[in-house]
A = this chain, B = another copy of it.
């Protein structure tokens, strides 16, 4: 019921979350980006119960983020490979990595993003593709788009009023 309601929300974030489910799914995606493809590999990496792993893998296949394809015919065995939609999730994962690296790794970074050629450590930041400006408040804000319904428009108007109120001296 809750799951269904997410997809019905007129919200790209809610619809995204409907696809990635919860954190097991996101950790599976993390591992898929690392080249893991087989059930046993995910199980060993995640220390997850088999029935839970099956459910999450099926969910990610159903949502179109992973593709299930045979790698052995006798016996029949499948592997799970990122689709184009799944690969497109990487910036979300790397944004999570950057946030976690900044705040939750007092012992130092265990994983970082590097230039594949030089090994130089990258510092991930979300910018506007055209202007290159960093996407931060108050320079940028969310606003109702062309397909917003009344509810979304009201919410965005509320948010704008809230920001203007906060900005008052």
Contact among B19, B111, B159, B161 with A148 in the assembled complex (CB-CB below 8 Å): B111
Give the chain B neighbours of A11 by CB distance below 8 A.
Answer: 30, 100, 110-111
Contact among B132, B136, B144 with A132 in the assembled complex (CB-CB below 8 Å): B132
Per-residue CB contact flags for chain A residues 40-79 toward chain B (1 = under 8 Å, else 0) read 0000010100000000000000000000000000000000
Give the chain B neighbours of A23 by CB distance below 8 A.
Answer: 6, 14, 17-18, 21-22
Give the chain B neighbours of A145 by CB distance below 8 A.
Answer: 108-112
Per-residue CB contact flags for chain A residues 116-152 toward chain B (1 = under 8 Å, else 0) read 1101001111111111100111111111111111001
With CB as the reference atom, state the residue of chain B lying closest to A112: B145
A interface SS class: mixed
**What is the bound-complex CA distance between A126 and B162, given in angstroms?**
28
- Interchain CB contact under 8 A, A163 and B35: yes
Per-residue CB contact flags for chain A residues 84-122 toward chain B (1 = under 8 Å, else 0) read 010111111111111111111101111111111101001
- Interchain CB contact under 8 A, A5 and B47: yes
**What is the bound-complex CA distance between A38 and B38, given in angstroms?**
45
- Interchain CB contact under 8 A, B27 and A105: no
Contact among B85, B89, B111 with A142 in the assembled complex (CB-CB below 8 Å): B111
Q: List 13 A-B contacts (CB under 8 A).
A: A12-B99, A12-B104, A14-B23, A15-B100, A22-B23, A35-B159, A108-B146, A110-B148, A111-B144, A113-B135, A113-B141, A113-B143, A126-B126
